[in-house]
Amino acid sequence: MSSARVSSFTQALLLASLLLFMTVMSCEAHLTPKYYVKSCPQALSTIRAAVRSAVARERRMAASLIRLHFHDCFVQGCDASLLLKDAEGIVSEQNAAQNFRSARGYEVIDSIKSAVEKVCPGVVSCADILAVAARDSSEYVGGPTWKVKLGRRDSTTAANKDLVQRDLPIAFDNLDELITSFARQGLSIKDMVALSGSHTIGQAQCATFRERIYTEPNIDPGFAAMRKRRCPSSPVLGNSTLAPLDLVTPNSFDNNYYKNLLQKKGLLHSDQVLLSSGPIGDMVKYYSKNQAAFFADFAAAMVKMGDIAPLTGSAGEVRRTCSVIN
């Protein structure tokens, strides 16, 4: 490569880095945990009470609410675009393969929004509710907590289907595909391994792990046999049958997810591939032995994920109802 081309490439790289730095600094300048201290002092306690009530009714809802925040932030940024239903000019992100009949908890977010609107009409965004609900869900089932930066606004558009399907990881992804997916959002390999630990709670549908339990060699035979009992090999039977992502403590947020991977008992292909040779496999082993480190890194990664391309200032809007634009 000529010196001129190297110089041009270096300048382009420096410019891209500068723009990314400015974007991050802009986010940090607008988002703050104290955003609603004066405008809606009851916001956080209202969200917290509603989340605790929902998870108390159905423990699985904790995983569902964390997942909603994840699926929202990975597509078009943390702007609550995922919550928009089909309408004129809007094709809902909920129709994309990774969300269709899989992402859930929308009615809980609607209920939380309704409760918040009663105390502070038109103040708290749906995007912020998603972020706080994820934190409160983690804490309620024994997981880490963290300070949620606030001040996001809601989008007036949904991302197109192709973008959703490109940006959201899927259960069949290989390691390189996962790394690319997270890197696209500015998240590191460490963030990826830590955030994957959220699969310590929740459930998956048979269609997402059928291929793994019937065809993959790196799986504990007894574990595979147990999962086959309720997940038939036929691709037209039992697709929506559920199985816990963590067999041992399915309703508690802990580091058992990583211990399962060491025993070749990861339910999804995209989980088990983390137990690779090299630094990624080393992180899995480390978290399996050190829950405190996992909790700290998970919390830090959630804060980082919450910073992905938020709408702030006068951009977007604060929706009155999360599923439709004003």
- 75 sits in the region (left: phi over 0; alpha: psi -120 to 50; else beta) called beta
Q: What is the CA radius of gyration of the chain?
A: 20
- Tokens of residue 116, six digits: 């918040």
Active site residue 71: yes
Identify the CA nearest to 159 among candidates 104, 103, 77.
77
DSSP assignment of 136-153: HHHHHTT----PPPB--B
The answer to whether 154 and 80 have CB atoms below 8 angstroms apart is: yes
- Tokens of residue 288, six digits: 């399996």
Given the residues 69, 71, 199, 269, the one annotated as active site: 71
The answer to whether 312 and 151 have CB atoms below 8 angstroms apart is: yes
* Neighbouring C-alpha atoms within 13 Å toward the C-beta of 144: 22
Residues with catalytic roles: 71
